[in-house]
A and B are shown apart, each in its own frame.
Chain A
Amino acid sequence: MPQLLIICGYLVLLLILGLGASRLFRGTSQDYMLASHSIGPFLLLMSIFGTTMTAFALVGSTGESFKEGVGVYGMLASSSGIIHSLCFFLLGVKVWKLGKKHGYRTQVQFFRDRLESRWIGALLFPVLVGLVIPYLLIGVMASGTVINKVTAGTIRDGQVVGGTFQEGTFPQFLEQGKNPKSDAPASFTYGSQGGVPKPLASLAICGIVLIYVFLGGMRGTTWANTFQTLVFMVLGLVTFVVIAWRLGGQESFWASLQMASNSIPIEKLTRTHIPPEKFFTYMLVPLSVGMFPHLFQHWLTARSAESFKLPVFAHPLFIAIVWVPCVLIGAWATSDLISIPPPVAANPNAVLPFLVKQLAGPVLSGLLTAGILAAIMSSLDSQFLCLGTMFTEDVVRPLYGKRNLSDRQQILIARLFIIAIVALTYALSLFEPRRVFTLGVWCFSGFSSLFPLIFAALYWPRLTKQGACACILAAAGSWLWLFRASDFAAQPNFTVNIPVPTAIDLDGYWQLMPVAAMVVCSTVTMILVSLVTKPPSQTTVDRFFPKT
């Protein structure tokens, strides 16, 4: 029960923060969506980092390290440190400059002008929303799992002991769950286990985030992001120390660290099961930040180009601070120092909350859970807000015209659309869960396949609207085709296999991440179609590529 009270207390605190930010709200849609371009370097760093690091970074990285070993850090964290900052540097600053000059609020507005196409949004908007949904799904799923595991009991001799709630407190459909690895009927042991049922917990988190986003708009979201990023970084380190100490069981922290790491099985210390070419192509996944619509919106909130300097160089450091402990914790969980029960082992998303629950006291585990939820919510809020902005700016305003809609009406429409998308995502989260990491990589891969589009729009004057459309279609088509081939993320180790002579690779083929195929497909299509179609007008070229 103390865990649940602490989690509730934290959520109330967030609502108060949203309420505080709402008192500074200037009542205009410009302030609601972009905080009137007033965000300085520190808030920009914290909001960008908080937005980028979602359940994927804490829950997903720990679970993936539990399954695949410490190579997970190299696959995504260190590469993100290089590539994310590259995107902030090459794209963020330029986007901010153009956005401020021409008053853009969304990606579609920028592409509409750059590509001289009024209808590009009709193609790009559904693709972007379609890719944001799996991203939202990660947060919604993980928040339910985390709250449930921390408030649940433990299983002894097949029975649940010490849960927050007795069996029968909630309706049966909320309490019963199936073992994904067997055909046995649904049971309490594989369901809520005496914790807050996952669907209820996810619903509560969606509701809280919606309320503070609605109250505070972009300013409230940025404040909440900053607060939550600080919370999850500090509490993340506390979690690491507590788990290391308790797991190692030695007198000193240092000795406990060494004991815990010495117990990691050898296969989790090496990357023998990861083909080097797969590891290499993982590097394309972080390119996704270049096309995240919510990050685009955060870039536009900056007060000046100088505000980007701090995020550019501090981002890799922050990634290391969050990911190194999580990856180590996941690897420790594979050791014989702790027994992971089958229901948890079957769901890697549950590994971190399980360890927190087992190794920290009730009060501390409540606080640490608040830290994990902070990371999840700091991404959900930006994504919610961004979806509303995109719908208002890219769909409603072009249809109705600016003069017909007041600021109040625009904000109302944005909020209604956000509620619709959150309801859809929530419904999807009720189906069979996927590994957060796997789902995250698929979502990021889709955005990465659109990276050539934003890069070319900013640096290649020859890009045409036909080339851009072909790029979007190629990216969406290849993503859908490969996602289906992976059984909709049910195969966590799905790769695209290219036959090569055994002299080059003993396996007889290269195992590449699907993102490699998608990026090649979208890039080649974009270049070829642009080169054979009519170039953009000189006016547009002069507007976006002024001679300095």
Chain B
Amino acid sequence: MALNKPTCLWGILMKPAYGVWGLILLLIIAHQDIWFWEDTTLVFGFLPIALAYHAGISLAAAFTWYLATQFCWPTDQEPSVQRKETP
């Protein structure tokens, strides 16, 4: 995706493509959850917090990658060739 050179942090974050890459970086940082290392809380009474938190990371990753397919998808792909259709 062709992007204009951003001029400030706010400008970077306001561009959807940069924002999405920023979210992915944030996910990678959030993945290192040392704050829950020794926590034995059971979320909803059955889900260990270490597991619940990382299941949340998976959901957030799915959402972030959905945004990536909407805002960062490469536009220089050649058009698809018509072939036998499959679902």
Query: In the complex, which residue of chain A has the Cβ closest to the Cβ of B37?
Result: A271
Query: In the complex, which residue of chain B has the Cβ closest to the Cβ of A257?
Result: B46
A81 interface hit (Cβ, 8 Å)? yes
Say whether, besides A43-B86, A271-B37, A82 and B45 are in contact (CB < 8 Å): no
Say whether, besides A43-B87, A261-B42, A276-B37, A73 and B55 are in contact (CB < 8 Å): yes
Say whether, besides A313-B69, A320-B55, A79 and B31 are in contact (CB < 8 Å): yes
Query: In the complex, which residue of chain B has the Cβ closest to the Cβ of A317?
Result: B62
Decide if B58 touches A320 in the complex (CB within 8 Å).
yes
Name A40's contact: one of B47, B53, B81, B85 (CB within 8 Å): B85
How many residues from B make CB contacts under 8 Å with A?
46
B50 contact set on A, CB distance < 8 A: 70-71, 73-74, 269-271
A43 contact set on B, CB distance < 8 A: 86-87
Q: Determine the distance from Cα of A305 to Cα of B81 in the docked complex, in whole angstroms.
A: 11
A403 interface hit (Cβ, 8 Å)? no
Q: Determine the distance from Cα of A272 to Cα of B34 in the docked complex, in whole angstroms.
A: 10
Decide if B68 touches A81 in the complex (CB within 8 Å).
no
* Interface residue ranges of A72-123 to B (CB < 8 Å): 73-74, 77-79, 81-82, 85-86, 89, 93-94, 97, 100-101
* Interface residue ranges of B37-78 to A (CB < 8 Å): 37-40, 42, 45-48, 50-51, 53-55, 57-59, 61-63, 65-66, 68-69, 72-74, 76-78
- Render A285-315 as a binary contact track against B, CB cut-off 8 A, 1 for contact: 0000000000000000001111001001111
A327 interface hit (Cβ, 8 Å)? yes
Decide if B37 touches A270 in the complex (CB within 8 Å).
yes
B66 contact set on A, CB distance < 8 A: 313
Decide if A269 touches B40 in the complex (CB within 8 Å).
yes
A172 interface hit (Cβ, 8 Å)? no
Q: Determine the distance from Cα of A270 to Cα of B24 in the docked complex, in whole angstroms.
A: 26
Q: Determine the distance from Cα of A318 to Cα of B87 in the docked complex, in whole angstroms.
A: 19
B3: min CB distance to chain A, Å: 12
A39 interface hit (Cβ, 8 Å)? yes
A531: min CB distance to chain B, Å: 27
Query: In the complex, which residue of chain B has the Cβ closest to the Cβ of A279?
Result: B32
A97: min CB distance to chain B, Å: 6
B5 interface hit (Cβ, 8 Å)? no
Query: In the complex, which residue of chain B has the Cβ closest to the Cβ of A302?
Result: B80
Decide if B78 touches A313 in the complex (CB within 8 Å).
no
Q: Determine the distance from Cα of A279 to Cα of B33 in the docked complex, in whole angstroms.
A: 10
Of A316, A320, A328, A548, chain B has the most CB atoms within 10 Å of the CB of: A316
A331 contact set on B, CB distance < 8 A: 48
Say whether, besides A37-B83, A283-B31, A78 and B57 are in contact (CB < 8 Å): yes
B85 contact set on A, CB distance < 8 A: 38, 40
Of B57, B65, B74, chain A has the most CB atoms within 10 Å of the CB of: B65
Query: In the complex, which residue of chain A has the Cβ closest to the Cβ of B51?
Result: A70
A313 contact set on B, CB distance < 8 A: 62-63, 65-66, 68-69
Say whether, besides A40-B86, A303-B83, A313-B66, A270 and B58 are in contact (CB < 8 Å): no
Q: Determine the distance from Cα of A126 to Cα of B61 in the docked complex, in whole angstroms.
A: 35
B27 interface hit (Cβ, 8 Å)? yes
Q: Determine the distance from Cα of A316 to Cα of B55 in the docked complex, in whole angstroms.
A: 9
Query: 8 closest Cβ contacts across the A-B interface?
Result: A304-B80, A305-B77, A320-B58, A78-B54, A316-B61, A313-B66, A261-B46, A313-B65
Residues in chain B within 8 A of chain A (CB atoms): 2, 24, 27-28, 31-34, 37-40, 42, 45-48, 50-51, 53-55, 57-59, 61-63, 65-66, 68-69, 72-74, 76-81, 83-87
